[in-house]
Structure 1
Amino acid sequence: MIIIPLGVSSATPTAVRHLPSVALWRDGSVFLFDCGENVQMRLLQAGVKRSKVEAIFISHLDGDHIFGLFGLLSTLQLQRREKELNIIGPKGLKKMIETVFGIAEVELEFPIAYKEIKSDFDHDIVLEGEEFYVEARPLKHTKFCIGYRFQEKDKPGKVDAQKAKEAGIIEDTQFKALKNGEDVTLEEGTVVHSADIVGDPRPGESFVYVTDTEFCENAIRLAENATILFHEATFGEPLKEKAEDTGHSSAQDAAIVAKTAKVERLVIGHFSARYSNQFLLLKEARNVFEKTWLAYELRPIFTNPEQEKEIISPRVEIIDLKDKKAQRTRKTFKPAPKRKDGFKKRRFKRKPANARYYKSGESDRPEKARFKKPYKRPDEDQRRESPHRPSKPLPITPRTPFDDFDRF
């Protein structure tokens, strides 16, 4: 699996952070968790095909988590999608979608399978496939909010090739049958038991999405022994009271959930716009749980880097405007031109025009004649007409790669 954060801001976007959305890539299929504004553009910039979206999971009906859904559905309609799309979320989600497209007089021609969850539920399997299932539990927010766990089913154990060869297993169909837990009977009548050749089943990988919630027990239950936990860290510990009033968590709360649930890795996101430096939140979380990462937009998080490397590559490169080193362009070295005979042409420094020349033997190196000109203050008219001080204001520099336009 690959996790791609598409937006890590909370409530309002910033110049460098977008509204909440996370994409999960698995075997060519894409699963979206929340659809903040501009989600379809972020999918394009991340190199993820929108046509590969299989299911969309909405945590709650706040605008910053759902307003990008309507544009995405409209684009899928224009692309003439025919495959069924699963949309899971709180009750009222279907009515909201139908109302918006009804007012716009747009009829979605591709089938949509809605799964609406009532506010009084305790635990449910909202989506299930042949190799995975998605579990949902209620969270603790100012309004009804849902957390999700994407869980792969247990994988068959590895076949011991040496034991299989000694037992007489040579055909691929026999190996496949043993891996599926079936016993194989050889031509001689010998029965080879799967338990003797195949190891124990391997647990599948899991991804947990918990956002817009206070510290609660259901978050710990969802994240138990998870591979990756994406947990909100809207505020720092100094704003703990504000977090409780608004139904959010601090970075320390997220770390406590990860430590209690014994997850392999914690990824924090959903940052308040007041934090231009998210490393303050990272430091706070790592004081409790060391294996904590910051969610960077469009930067994939691999659960198994060896097998899934370079499957998704971002199409844009975002540079932090505060990082001066990243903005510097490297000076390219221009090699000296080669002559026809194969030797490089020597480069000599041009001698200054005002240099003094001596006869050979008097000096090894000519000295430069230095003339100091008296400073003359320019008058007011010259300062106004100077090309170095334009009368018109300079254009505003775009703050992000996506603001490449005139603001006024």
Structure 2
Amino acid sequence: MLPSLTKEDLLDLLPGSEHFFRRRTIWRLTHDDNEGQERDLCRPSTSHGTCDFSPIPTTQPSFRELTVMAKRLIEYYPMLRDRSQTSRAEWETVKKQLLKRIQNVTTPKKKQGSTPSRKRPRSLSFQSSHETSTDETDESTASTLILERSPTSRCSAPEAAQLCASETESPQTQARHYKTLQAMYKTKARPNKMDVAQLLDLEIQARRAFIDSDVTKEQDRPSNILKAYPCFGELDHLMDELRRILNQGNSHFLMELKTRWGTFCERAQFYGVFKKLMRPPQLDKVKHSIAMMKALPEMHASEAVLHVLESAEDPNTFLQTRPLSSPVVIICETNCILAIGTMPVLIFPKEDIHESVMYLMACYYTFHLTYPKCIATLLSVVQTEVLLDAIHDCDMTTSYKKAMADWKKFISD
């Protein structure tokens, strides 16, 4: 009786996918000549609308085999039948899905040994000079960086350069970033600012450990750091390093810093007039800013932080005869020079003189310098009031406490 049963009869007697192996065993016992054909047919999966087939290794199912699979699937799962008018056959849609799935299957490749790409996925970072800020000159050229995608690059942040403070790069990876940064500055073309900033973000842990280790004397530290990181000779990277040190996760830190500095200067202007150290505001913005920078040290019991060159005075001569090795701003006829000790670091426009104190603070933080006693009170006030960086109780001098008490009393009245 069993040999007379068809596949449809077996399906009626033992319905459902759970009886598939039982139906197949009965069919093979009674139809030995079709055993080879049965092996080519797919076994329906009990959890998905696709089939688990075992094709010959390194080969793909033929077009006819896919058709057989699709027909068998709609027999066991009638809900997969496509009865729409646009379909030529009920199994056509299932066949297309099977074909799409087969095309997505890739042949496994033999491993060629340990490579860095298997440790971490890599991502291409394309930056062009057209994507950078408008203050870049035409000397900027497009560049391509291959950076290892670290755990920090997967953090949810509004900007890609923003990092998670809890996760850092490995020392080996940071060393590769440093070598890439060095190679960028050995070329004649000017490096792309966004690429340099990205590398500085990734390499910050090793860099700050090197700078803060005090392995060199403080008077030699700025020159050694500039040799290792020539990017800090550019104002944008110098200020961006200040952001990384104080608030790395805040991409709007510099904008907020400028706002706080503007508020501080407005209050200091009235404070200077109150103490008869300044005249009322002038119409010339540059002259007013210079007057403000000259009056700020007098307001907080400190010496000058800038020097205005005379008409016949040479900046190099002034730097060589200057007794201090701390950062200073030199005002020339057309521009300003930011120098540390006897070494000029960068040049910025004279119109930006009102932000020169922020540039000085960036030098102290970036190069890990100590405040000279003669200007420590002013810099400490700026540190707490503008940078919002607290000072330890042991570093609070009597002069600083008195200056802060007078300042707080004035702004509270």
The interval holding the TM-score normalised by the smaller chain is: under 0.3
TM-score (norm. length: structure 1): 0.16
> Which is bigger in relative contact order (C-alpha 8 A, separation at least 6)?
1
| Higher strand proportion (structure 1 or 2) | 1
Structure (1 or 2) with the larger CA radius of gyration: 2
TM-score, structure 2 normalization: 0.16
Give 1 or 2: higher helix fraction: 2
